[in-house]
Structure formats: C-alpha cells, structure tokens
Amino acid sequence: MSDSVFLIVKSILSWVNSFFVVYLIGYSTFLFLSVVIGSSELYKRRRQDKLKNTLFKNYYVPISIIVPAYNEALAVVSTVESLLDLDYKLYEIIVVDDGSKDDTSGELIAAFDMHPIRRPIQRKIECQPDEFVYEAICEKVPLTLIRKKNGGRADALNMGINACKYPYFICIGAGSVLPQDSLSRIIRPVLEHQNVVAVGGVVRPANGVTIEHGRAIKYKLPRNLLACMQVLEYDRSFLASRILFDKFGGSLLISGTFGLFKKDAVIAAGGYDTSTMGEDMELIVKLHEYCTLNDIPYCVKYATDAVCWSRVPENLRDLCRQRKRCHLGLFQSVWKHRRMLFDPKYGAVSFVSFLCFLIYVLLSPFIEILGAVSIVASFFTGLLNIRSLIMIFAVYTVFGCVLTMTAFFARMQTVDLKVRATDALRAILICFIEVTFFRFIMLFIRSTAFFGYKKKKLTQENKRKIGV
C-alpha cells in the first residue's frame, strides 16, 4: 500500500472515529437527560398522588377496548375475563378474530354464551369483510366478537375501530392483562389536557409477576435471563425516551399492547396502515402529520401510571422475530413519513423525536457496527490508543448500567412494588450483562432485520404470531 493511500485510509478512519465519539456522547447525553427527566417526573407524580393532586374520581368517559386476536384460543378467554373485571363504569369489549386457524372464536362463544347477530358495521376505514358477529350482554360490559377474513393485525384493529361505539378506544394485545384501575388511569390525560388524540400506557413484562384479578400481588424478576434483561430494557425505554418526548408533545411511539386513541382523529387520519409492520408507530406519526397539516390543535400524551402487564419472549428465536418486526416497522414508518424530517412545521417532533429515532434507533445498528469495524482497522493502522479505548468503553458500560438501574429503581419506588434484596442484586448484575452482552445481540438482530426481510419477507403469519 502506497503512503498516500495509507494516509487517506488513516484520515478516513480518524474521521470515522471522531464521528463515533460524537455519536456516543450524543447518545449518552440523550440517555442521561431522558433518565433524569423521567425519574424526576415519576417522583413528582408520586408526590402528586400522595398530596391528592390527581383526579381521584371516575368521570366515566366511555371507552371501547379492541382486542385483535389471531390463533389465541388458549389466551383469549382469560384476557376477556380480566377485561370484564376492570374497575370502570362505561366500556365495551370488541374482540376481532382475524381469521384464526384455531378455535379462537369458538372458545369465546362457549365461555361467554355469545349469540350470533346480524350487526351492520359502518366501514369508515377500509378493512377485510366480516364473516360473522356474536354478542353477549355481560353484567356491566357489552362484549362483541367479530370474526373477519384474515388481513393482519392492523386490519383487525381497523375493523374494531369501525365497530366500536365510544369516542375513545384502547387497543390491547390478547394475552395482556390490565390492572383494574388501568382505564381510569389512561383516560386521565384526556380530562387533564385539551385536544388529546392519543395516550400511551406503560407496558411491563408480566414474566415472574403473580397477577390476581388484574393486580400484581407479588413481584419478582423472572428466572429466565432473557426475560429478566427485557424487564430492565423495558423500564429504561418506557422511562427514558417516552417521558422526555412527552414533555414537549413529541411522542412518536405508543405501544400496540396498551394505548388509547380518539376515534374521530384516527378515522380522519385513515386508521392503521395495513401495509407496514410497525402500524403502531406509523399511526402516531400519521396523527402528528395529519393534525399539523390540517392545523388541528392536538397533543399526544403518556400516562406513566397506566400499566399493562404483558408476557415477553423467553427464547431468542421469538425475541429475534419480535425485534426484527419492530425494526422493520420503524424503518417503514420513518421512510413513509420521511418528509417530516427537518420540516419546521412539525417543530420538535421533527427535529428531536424523529431525528432521535432515526439516528439512535433505526440507524444505530449500522453506526455501531461501523464503529466496531473502524476500531479494528484503527488498531491495524496504529491509530488506536488502547488505554483510551478501554477507558471509554468501561465508562460507557458503567454509565449505561447506572442509568438502567436508575430507571429500574425509579420505576419500582414509584409504583409501590416491593423488590426483594436478592432481586435488587440480581438486577444490578444482569444490568451489566444487558449492557455488555444483550445490547449487542439486539444490535445484531436489528441489523440483520433488513437482510432477512429482503430474503424471506417476514410473512403475514409471522406478523401476527408475535405480539409486541
């Protein structure tokens, strides 16, 4: 290699290394800000609750709960039972069986003595046709089952929106459990603020938690290492970016497992997009875009105390599928709404939320792989100061762990969950494994999502099997 080529390579590597350091600083600062703001917000909320700075009455804003179900014969009955047990005066449950191959509908019909009915459903949003409708009048809650032709989760949700009769709807995953007070908590931002079009709830891994009548009566970290690491990851992500983005109305993601939406706004925006895998994120981005372009005052809020318990995958295969789908969905949403980026009309949503998602979530696997490659190349070209490198990574690791632990304990201290000392120690240990090991596995999985997609095109079936 001639000297001039070597110099060019060296200068490129030097540039890449500088970029990587700036990237890490940016990410760490973002994480730091979001965890500090998130923790202080949780403590403030707890203090508010103690001092009765809260709406302690139920104002009974009617809510429709939509449960899309595909091959959920085993879980659907218990999910509906837990929903019937909610402590809320006015709500309905609509289960949409998305053409299951198992007996999802049969299980429901038998368990709740449901009866066929010819119910006209207004198609305000396009969706696959229904095959039959069953209804039951429970003691306090109307329950509807709609069996429709298979069309994917987004299509099932669109059918649910068409059929629901109340002004706000919640979509939850079959297999999730809502605590009894979850509806009164998630509706609060609607009463507290004007023009709320969507409210995100908190999804917490149910693995290891003993839940009775929707209430977590015993909390411990799951035995399964993978699930345990996801507990820490969920706490960090729900605490971190979501509360930070909520501060300036820039939330870009409401989990499909537990989110509340204003029906009219969703219908006006066109409902869930059936062509993307990340329909949940796409809907929120679409709501931002629709309301901004049409000069409609709106806000998207995040309810830190509205919790939904949901099981997370305990094996790597399921986790891979879930994360690949999420990453592809994110890519599709960002690509579809790319015109929002750097558009002053969208304000902080464009310049902060959208940009953060793009750089620190969507592109992060590639940027970090580029960083790793540049380290190896720098080593061979003598550009690397090993001592500095080790120091940077050591501090970066400790930094990540401390922030994750802050998020974990802030969450525990503010939701009245008692953590045993052994669990606290385990959390600290697993935190290191999560930051040094699990995080890189996730990066690898996310980076391969695109390749897998091109080769195999994750099928519609995969889409629905994996609940997020």
Partner 1 sequence: MNVEILVYAYFEICLAMIAFNIASALAFKMNDPKLSKKSDGFSKTVLRQLESGEADDRHRKYLRKKLRHINYLMELDGILDGLFDEKPDEVRRYVETLSPVFVYLTLEYSKKNQLQAAYYPYIIKKYRLFTGTKISAVVDMLTHMVQNSSLYCRENALQALYNIGDVGSVVNALKLLDGSGYYHNPKMITDGLLEFTGDREKLDFRLWACFDEFNIPMQLAFMDYFRFESGCHTEKMLEVMTDKSADLDLRLAAIRYFAKHSYGPAREALYSFACDTSPEWEYRAIAATALANYPAPKTERILRDLLFDRNWYVRYNAADSLERLGVEYDELVDIFEGGDRYASDMLRYRFDRKKLGGEVTV
Sign of CA dihedral 67, 238, 309, 413: negative
Quote the least distance from Cβ 48 to partner 1, whole Å: 7
Quote the least distance from Cβ 20 to partner 1, whole Å: 12
Specify the residue, 90 or 293, whose C-beta has the smaller distance to partner 1.
90
Quote the least distance from Cβ 398 to partner 1, whole Å: 5
**Contacts (Cβ under 8 Å, ≥6 apart) of 168:** 61, 62, 63, 64, 187, 190, 260, 261, 262, 263
Specify the residue, 191 or 293, whose C-beta has the smaller distance to partner 1.
191
Any idea which residue has 């009463």 for tokens?
Answer: 191
Specify the residue, 117 or 372, whose C-beta has the smaller distance to partner 1.
117
Give the integer Cα–Cα distance in Å for 349 and 107: 44
Q: Are 247 and 37 in contact (CB under 8 A)?
A: yes
Quote the least distance from Cβ 339 to partner 1, whole Å: 31
Quote the least distance from Cβ 14 to partner 1, whole Å: 13
Sign of CA dihedral 230, 234, 237, 240: negative
SS3 196: strand
Give the integer Cα–Cα distance in Å for 272 and 256: 11
Two tokens, residue 17:
């290394």
Quote the least distance from Cβ 394 to partner 1, whole Å: 8
Sign of CA dihedral 79, 81, 83, 85: negative
Specify the residue, 36 or 352, whose C-beta has the smaller distance to partner 1.
36
Give the integer Cα–Cα distance in Å for 11 and 78: 61
Quote the least distance from Cβ 139 to partner 1, whole Å: 6
Give the integer Cα–Cα distance in Å for 250 and 22: 24
Any idea which residue has 């103690």 for tokens?
Answer: 50
Quote the least distance from Cβ 351 to partner 1, whole Å: 25
Distances (CA, A) of 202 to 31, 61, 179, 248: 18, 20, 12, 18
Specify the residue, 127 or 410, whose C-beta has the smaller distance to partner 1.
410
Quote the least distance from Cβ 192 to partner 1, whole Å: 6
Give the integer Cα–Cα distance in Å for 145 and 108: 8
Task: Write out the residues near partner 1 by the rule CB under 8 A.
Answer: 21, 25, 28, 32, 35-36, 39, 43, 47-48, 50-55, 57, 59, 61, 84, 112-115, 117-120, 122, 135-139, 143, 191-194, 385, 388, 391-392, 395-396, 398-399, 402-403, 405-406, 409-410, 413
Specify the residue, 353 or 406, whose C-beta has the smaller distance to partner 1.
406
Q: Are 61 and 89 in contact (CB under 8 A)?
A: no
Specify the residue, 31 or 253, whose C-beta has the smaller distance to partner 1.
31
Phi then psi for residue 64, to 5 deg, are -100, 135
Quote the least distance from Cβ 59 to partner 1, whole Å: 5
Any idea which residue has 């999804």 for tokens?
Answer: 203
Q: Are 125 and 158 in contact (CB under 8 A)?
A: yes
Specify the residue, 74 or 137, whose C-beta has the smaller distance to partner 1.
137
Specify the residue, 114 or 466, whose C-beta has the smaller distance to partner 1.
114
Give the integer Cα–Cα distance in Å for 280 and 198: 11
Q: How would you label 351-383 residue by residue, b for 16+ Cβ within 10 Å and e otherwise?
A: ebbbebbbebbbbbbebbeebeebbebbeeeeb
Quote the least distance from Cβ 55 to partner 1, whole Å: 7
* CA-based nearest residue to 374, from 25, 24, 10, 23: 10
Specify the residue, 47 or 338, whose C-beta has the smaller distance to partner 1.
47
Specify the residue, 7 or 398, whose C-beta has the smaller distance to partner 1.
398
Specify the residue, 8 or 395, whose C-beta has the smaller distance to partner 1.
395
Q: Are 65 and 170 in contact (CB under 8 A)?
A: yes
Quote the least distance from Cβ 423 to partner 1, whole Å: 15
